[in-house]
């Protein structure tokens, strides 16, 4: 069996599969899907998580990781110790050739500098459609990547996600943090009537504003009217709602597909077809 890990900043998603690539990422007789909170990468906690796979007769461990070199080395040692396998880490590349022999091209001058989670999400979306598309990954950071009909990556955005926006205020401004520490429950609907609510609602408003501007930019610059939007990440549900509201305001009718495991899908295709 194959173990695929999507290691993010706060959570790790996993997929156990009998075969690659995984066309439909969901739990079934052939696949097991799950996740866990990283728990600040506590050694004992991670050992327990990996021990669940000791009886699965694994042949390979494939990893998408946004962590730095030290964290990758740490995970490599953990997998060797607990599973007896050295994990293989995906990397962003200059091109990816799809199952239908279409070519996805990286826009970065140094392809490996593009976050591998962004690249694999594009790979996953590329296998799902043959038209122009945009991928929005709503995790700790919100990343957006636009790909043309011809498969050329046009570039993207990286902005702080909701929790990061709030943490930057609460962690970087003593007065706001002090005020928030004296709040009870969040109070307010559009405007907060205590500091915690003001910070949370302010972050939501900023993300809604970003989604509105994104829809405007896509409408102004897209090659066709058949652009598909793929949304993934832990805050994907909220982003879908924001995009729908923005499209309604601008009378746009783009297709939105919520794909919570898009990176795992891309990881399975990347190692199956291009590695």
For the chain, domains (ranges, CATH) are 2-89 (3.30.420.40), 130-161+195-265 (3.30.420.40)
**CA nearest 186: which of 201, 196, 173, 171?**
196
- Please say if the pLDDT value at position 70 is more than 60: yes
Of 107, 152, 141, 119, residue with least CA distance to 210: 141
Does 38 show up as a binding residue in the annotation? no
Instruction: For residues 89-117, give the mean pLDDT.
Output: 95
Question: Which among 117, 183, 235, 237 is annotated as catalytic?
Answer: 117
- The mean-pLDDT minimum among 115-119, 165-169, 265-269 falls in 165-169
C-beta separation of 75 from 61 below 8 A: no
Strand partners, 62: 4, 88
Q: According to the annotation, is 7 in a ligand binding site?
A: yes
> Would the pLDDT of 189 be above 70?
no
118 labelled binding-site residue? yes
What's the pLDDT at 96?
Answer: 96
Does 84 or 167 have the greater pLDDT score?
84
Q: Quote the distance between the C-alpha of residue 65 and its chain's center.
A: 11
More confident call, 163 vs 188: 163
For the segment 203-260, what is each residue's pLDDT rounded down to a tens digit?
Answer: 899 999 999 999 999 999 988 888 999 999 989 999 999 999 999 999 999 999 999 9
> Residue 220 catalytic?
no
Q: How much is the mean pLDDT over the chain?
A: 89
Q: Is the pLDDT of residue 6 over 80?
A: yes
Report the pLDDT averaged over residues 60-86: 94
The response to whether 156 counts as a known ligand-binding position is: no
pLDDT exceeds cutoff 80 at 166: no
């Amino acid at each position: 069996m194959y173990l695929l890990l999507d290691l993010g900043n706060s959570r790790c998603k996993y997929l156990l599969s009998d075969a690659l690539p995984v066309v439909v990422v969901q739990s079934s007789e052939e696949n097991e899907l799950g996740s866990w909170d990283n728990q600040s990468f506590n050694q004992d906690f991670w050992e327990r998580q990996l021990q669940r796979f000791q009886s699965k007769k694994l042949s390979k461990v494939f990893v998408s990781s946004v962590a730095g070199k030290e964290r990758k080395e740490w995970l490599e040692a953990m997998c060797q110790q607990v599973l007896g396998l050295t994990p293989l880490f995906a990397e962003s590349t200059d091109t990816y050739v799809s199952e239908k022999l279409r070519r996805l091209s990286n826009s970065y001058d140094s392809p490996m500098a593009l976050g591998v989670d962004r690249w694999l999400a594009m790979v996953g979306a590329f296998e799902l459609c043959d038209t122009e598309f945009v991928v929005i990954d709503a995790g700790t950071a919100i990343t957006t990547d636009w790909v043309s009909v011809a498969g050329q990556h046009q570039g993207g955005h990286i902005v702080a996600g909701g929790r990061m926006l709030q943490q930057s205020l609460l962690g970087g401004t003593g007065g706001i943090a002090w005020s928030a520490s004296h709040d009870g429950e969040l109070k307010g609907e559009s405007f907060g009537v205590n500091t915690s609510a003001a910070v949370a609602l302010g972050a939501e408003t900023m993300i809604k504003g970003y989604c509105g501007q994104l829809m405007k930019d896509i409408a102004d610059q897209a090659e066709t009217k058949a652009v598909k939007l793929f949304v993934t990440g832990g805050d994907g549900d909220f982003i879908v709602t924001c995009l729908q509201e923005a499209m309604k305001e601008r009378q746009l009718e783009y297709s939105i597909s919520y794909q919570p495991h898009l990176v795992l899908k891309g990881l399975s295709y990347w190692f199956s077809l291009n590695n």
